[in-house]
Amino acid sequence: DADVTQTPRNRITKTGKRIMLECSQTKGHDRMYWYRQDPGLGLRLIYYSFDVKDINKGEISDGYSVSRQAQAKFSLSLESAIPNQTALYFCATSDSQGIGYTFGSGTRLTVV
Amino acid sequence: SQQGEEDPQALSIQEGENATMNCSYKTSINNLQWYRQNSGRGLVHLILIRSNEREKHSGRLRVTLDTSKKSSSLLITASRAADTASYFCATDGHGNNRLAFGKGNQVVVIP
């Protein structure tokens, strides 16, 4: 099994729908992250969590929310999806030093 | 805001040649990391260099860091077709505790 598992792998949804992207990790790390990747823009941080009770906004958190259900699980929600949230979404985890992030395979989300 | 920013390059080289890509950043850092991304896949950590290091090697990878110029370079020697990927630098920003990624360099190695 992969160290970081993201579901679904691909999703097409309609504008205005609520959607949840899920992430689980088996690394035993406390830190988890959600990034968004757009062509030509690299990866941008949406939210991050340093432990179950610690949730922080990243640089582009508007329109997104997260839930840290357990040390191993960190989900990302789009409350009301809009077309410009079409992107590739990555979950990652790291140790407490933030060295060598481990990424999931990504969720390709299309909002139509 | 993003700290790591690669020179906007798309390299196309022949197998066996060396590939060099650069990264610049804006603030002080604890470390700088390089990642590889194969098409549409998750990023894979390649190498880390700390702010008090100037050069580091790992297999065919050589990373340099110039903190006075706030820049880093990644050299891949004797490239292989399997090195075809996008390469990203990422910085932690001193005291920031989270990585900011650059826009990536696409490298195509022609067999």
pLDDT in tens, B61-95: 999 999 999 999 999 999 999 999 999 999 987 66
Separation in Å, CA of B57 to nearest CA in chain A: 16
- Segment A36-48 shows an average pLDDT of 91
Confidence of residue B3 (pLDDT cuts 50, 70, 90): very low
pLDDT in tens, B19-67: 999 999 988 898 999 999 998 889 999 999 999 999 999 999 999 999 9
pLDDT(A79) > 90:
yes
Long-range contact pairs involving A24-29 (C-beta distance under 8 Å, separation at least 24): A24/A72, A24/A73, A24/A74, A25/A72, A25/A74, A25/A91, A25/A93, A25/A102, A26/A1, A26/A72, A27/A3, A27/A93, A27/A95, A27/A102, A28/A71, A28/A72, A29/A71, A29/A93, A29/A94, A29/A95, A29/A96, A29/A102
Confidence of residue B2 (pLDDT cuts 50, 70, 90): very low
Inter-chain CB proximity B33 and A99 less than 8 Å: yes
Separation in Å, CA of B97 to nearest CA in chain A: 6
pLDDT in tens, A54-76: 999 999 999 999 999 999 999 99
For residues A100 and A1, the model is more confident at A100
Confidence of residue B98 (pLDDT cuts 50, 70, 90): confident
Please report the number of interchain residue pairs, chain A to chain B, with beta-carbon separation below 8 angstroms. 56
Inter-chain CB proximity B104 and A101 less than 8 Å: no
Mean pLDDT of chain A: 95
Inter-chain CB proximity A43 and B88 less than 8 Å: yes
- Segment B88-108 shows an average pLDDT of 85
